[in-house]
Structure formats: C-alpha cells, structure tokens
Structure 1
Amino acid sequence: MQNVILIVHLILALSLIGVVLLQRSEGGGLGMGGGGGAMSQRAAATAMGKVTWILAAAFIVTSLTLTILAAQDASGVSVMDRLTGGTPSDSPASDNGTLDTDALLPPPAAEDTGADANAPLVPRAD
C-alpha cells in the first residue's frame, strides 16, 4: 500500500513540475511588470491553472497519507534505539522512571598507564 502511494506521489511530483514549466510566463521578475497574476482583481482561471491546483492538492494529500502511514509503522520505536541497536528496555532509565546516571558514564579504564591524560602526544623516534 505504501509503495503504491509513493509511486503515485512521485508521478504527481513530476506532473506538477511539468505543468508549472509549461505555463505561460507573465513577464518580469517575481511577478513585477506582468499586470496580472496575483495582483489583479480576478486571476485568470485557465485550464493549466486548474490542473496545477488539482495536482498540488493531490500531492499534499499523498504527502499527508505517507506521513500518517510512516508514523503508524514507527509507533513505539525510538530513534535512539535504532541508532544504538538496543531495545527500549536497554534505556538508562530505572524502573521508577528516573534517570540512572551511572549508565551514562563511560566505563572505567581497564588499566592505569600512569601517563598524564592532559599531556600532549609526542611521537617517539624509534
């Protein structure tokens, strides 16, 4: 179902691009100097204008439908769980809902090398 709506959405997008490019230019940059368009009292209701509105409305409907379907598929899944590969039970929250700060700290070092952590790294000449 989602694939069919996605294909229809792509066809609508390409059709909308084509119809907009086929429309007659009214001259002037950003609508200045044409004498018509949005600045006139009554916009011309041409066939191309009607087709543009229909395609735009259908494009918005398919966009909303795809968004709703994607939200239903992803309900209950956190983005962070997908990034870390964990499950929701692996979260750092404890059973009572408070945050367990020990789970957020990095693990302790396996061995202490005795080197100063703030000392600059200098390559050895072997």
Structure 2
Amino acid sequence: METVVLVIHLLIAMALVGVVLIQKSEGGGLGMGGGNMGGMMTTRGSANLLTRATALLAAAFFATSLILAILAGNASRTDSIFDRVPAAAPEAPSEAPAPAPAEPSVPVGE
C-alpha cells in the first residue's frame, strides 16, 4: 500500500514541477512563445487552466504527503534498546565486610 501511494506521490510531484515550469511568469520564464497553448485557448484561458491544475496537483501532493506520514507512523516499530533494559534500579552492595588482604609470602624489609 505504501509503495503505491509513494509512486502516485512521485508522479504528482513530477507533474507539479512540469505545470509550474510551463506557466508564464512576469519575466517570460519558460512559457516563452505566443502565450497560447498551440492555439487551443486564449492566454487568459490557459492561465486559468494552469492555475487550476497547479492548485489541484498541490492539493493532491499535500494529501499524499499526509497519507505517507500516517502510513510511516503506523509501520511496525522496532524495539528500542531501552525497552530491553530492566527497569529495576541496580542493587546496593551487600553489607558483608570485604575480605582482608592476604599476607605477602615474601617477607618485606629483609
């Protein structure tokens, strides 16, 4: 499921980039030419179409981003190393006296 949504998301992203690059900016941009799309529409009509297409693709991009985020949040979570450590505090040292140091076998000072 996640792979299908990811592929759709990538296709929408590429289409969105393409639609934005086709639009004519104030400085001319990549929309150079007569201003109409092959004589299909007037300049104002093509601007409305591209603006609406951009808005629809942006909304679809946003929706697929949210869906991917939700799917990633619901994915199987790996256990943390902190989940495996026992919660009990370390035990206090026992109150038994420490053993006395052993006498050296070699006499000192002779």
Q: TM-score range by the shorter chain?
A: 0.5 to 0.7
Q: Do residues 94 (structure 1) and 96 (structure 2) align?
A: no
Q: 1:68 aligns with which of 59, 70, 77?
A: 70
For residue 49 of structure 1, what is the amino acid of its counterpart?
A: T
1:1-126 counterparts in 2 under 5 A? 1-27=1-27, 46-75=48-77, 77=78, 81=80, 86=81, 88-90=83-85, 94-95=87-88
Q: Secondary structure at the match of 1:25?
A: coil
Aligned length: 73
Q: TM-score, normalised by structure 1?
A: 0.50
Structure having the higher Rg: 2
Q: TM-score, normalised by structure 2?
A: 0.57
Residues in 2 aligned to 1:8 and 1:49: alpha-carbon distance in whole angstroms: 21
Higher relative contact order (CA 8 A, sep 6+): 2
CA deviation after TM superposition for structure 1 residue 26, in Å: 1.4
CA deviation after TM superposition for structure 1 residue 87, in Å: 6.9
Alignment gaps of 5+ in structure 2: 29-44, 91-110
Residues in 1 aligned to 2:11 and 2:25: alpha-carbon distance in whole angstroms: 24
- Which 4+ runs in 1 deviate beyond 6 A? none
Alignment gaps of 5+ in structure 1: 29-43, 101-126
Alignment RMSD (CA, Å): 2.6
Instruction: Work out the percentage of aligned pairs sharing the same amino acid.
Output: 41
